[in-house]
Structure 1
Amino acid sequence: MSINCIAIDDEPLALDIIRNFASKIPFLNLMAVFENPLESIDFMKKKQVDLIFLDIQMDDINGIQFLKLLNNRPYVIFTTAYEDYALTGYELEAIDYLLKPIFFERFVKAADRVYRKMMPANEGEKEMTRHQEANHEDFIFVKTGFHHQRIRYRDILYIKGEGDYLRIVTHQKKIMTLLSFRNLQELLPADEFVRVHKSYVVAIRHIDSIERNRIKVGDEVISVSGTYSKNFFGLLKSKKLIT
């Protein structure tokens, strides 16, 4: 199965990166790229487009405004340097939200989500398993000291910033790494991990309780700061985890 896609971004360098990444993924067929989003509308009327890699901050019209113009929307993966639009992205049912600079591994995971959504129902489960095994979608390697530590997504309770380091807390252990929050979030599934404070990213599946603007994860009580509160509660509502 092939996914016909286009990329829209007013930065030529960003389009070059998407071209390069897409060329390495056998099931992606990058048909065209556009620096002006309005120029893509006529193209989409004539061609079958399954997926758009879409920047948000553009001069004439931003990606969110452009997306709202489309009657029959293809799948969308937002590509942006700004975290502020994450909630809007979920509300518009974007498949994923990639923060620039985009890492290839994260790009592959986002594209793979589209692939699995387009997979015929009778083949989806087996194909998902094959992709997970091939792309190691259930874990990452994090550099700690002089080696890389394997960590499964489902084991991570939360990540805490401690000076120049991040402490990744699981049920079994605590791992220190020099990765930044931004770089680590690029490696984690965006719909499973959410920033709630300048010093905390939490795994949604491991939240034990929520009381006003405080959440409990394991033995840790974490404040949800005002900066991240709207995105956090909006994400929970979009996933129908709270009302």
Structure 2
Amino acid sequence: MEKLRCIVLDDEPIGREIIENFVKEIPFLTLTNSFGDPVEALMFLENNSVDIIFSDIQMPKINGLDFVKTLENPPVIIFITAHRDFALDGFETGATDYLVKPVRFDRFLKAVNKAKEYISLKQNSTVHQVNSDRIFIKSNGKLTKILLDEILYIEAQGDYLKIVINNEAYTTLATLKSMDEVLTLPKFFRIQRSFIINLEAIRSLNGNMAELINGKSISIAMNKKEELYQVLGIR
């Protein structure tokens, strides 16, 4: 693997310097840039790609959580904060880890090793569409062919997808957004934030629940119910 490109964002010079020095100690990391101003970091990221962002949370102008939310395709995020209470909010933005100040080197190393493993998995696990009726996914270290007609539903589980085919299930590192580009109407429908279902797998509808032919019940998002009924031709 090539060196992972990093930037550091912290409005406190001392905190920024500590992380900069930690990055320089890790052989597989390279420090691309460092910022005390989140606006300057955003301008840099418009024209430059990085693999990891080490970001403080409490900063003027834009806090770290809002900073990440402005990124269209965020890289791996590792938050740095003086307050443990921010940890849950950090994970809700999709952060890989968070470090509490004062940051210890051993804890920093653990976080970057976790980031390295995630990036490696992401680079080597994906969904390949070979034609209109089948895909290949990387699962358990091998490429597995899946016929689209056989898929009952796909569930997002963190950074992974669970693809269910009758009584079998496969897990691969991918996003529902990437599957949206492969699985389209009139066959498949994004029924809520975490699920895409095969419309032909629906056995019954009851209120805001859809029961599939394998017995699985999935809730229908309020803003999706009317569209689902229209797609199914139910008036």
- Calculate the TM-score normalised by the size of structure 2: 0.50
Partner residue, 1:88: 89
Paired residue type of 2:13: P
Aligned partners of 2:55 and 2:110: how far apart in 1?
Answer: 16
The alignment covers a number of residue pairs equal to 124
Report SS of the residue matched to 1:72.
coil
Paired letter, 1:29: T
The CA RMSD measured in Å over matched residues stands at 1.7
For 1:24, the aligned partner's letter is E
Aligned to 2:79: 78
Match of 1:198 in 2: none
Matched, 1:99 2:100: yes
Aligned residue in 1 for 2:124: 121
Measure how far apart 1:105 and its partner are. 0.4
Cα deviation per residue 1:114-154 (whole Å; 9 max; x = unaligned)? 111111438xx99xxxxxxxxxxxxxxxxxxxxxxxxxxxx
Q: CA deviation at 1:38?
A: 0.9
SS in 2 for 1:87: helix
Q: Which residue does 1:135 correspond to in 2?
A: none
Q: Which has the higher contact order (CA 8 A, sep 6+)?
A: 1
Q: How many angstroms apart in 2 are the aligned matches of 1:54 and 1:32?
A: 12
Counterpart of 1:8 in structure 2 is: 9
Larger Rg computed on CA atoms: 2
Q: Which runs of 5+ in 2 are unaligned?
A: 126-139, 142-235
| 2:57 aligned partner, one-letter code | I
In the alignment, structure 1 segments of 5+ residues that lack a partner are 127-243
1:34 correspondence with 2:38 = no
Whole-Å Cα distance in 2 between the matches of residues 59 and 78 of structure 1? 16
Determine helix, strand or coil for the equivalent of 1:7: strand
Matches of 1:29 and 1:54 in 2, distance apart?
Answer: 16
> How is 1:29-178 mapped onto 2 (pairs within 5 angstroms)?
29-119=30-120, 120-121=123-124
Residue of structure 1 in register with 2:219 after alignment? none
Match of 1:84, SS state, is: helix
Q: CA deviation at 1:69?
A: 1.0
Shift of the alpha carbon at 1:71? 0.9
Structure 2 match to 1:24:
25
The 3-state SS of whatever aligns with 2:38 is coil
SS at match of 1:33: strand
Where do residues 182-193 of structure 1 align in structure 2 (5 Å cutoff)?
A: none
Identity score, percent: 45
Report the TM-score, using the length of structure 1 for normalisation. 0.49
Q: Which amino acid aligns with 1:121?
A: N
In 1, Cα distance between the equivalents of 2:124 and 2:42?
30
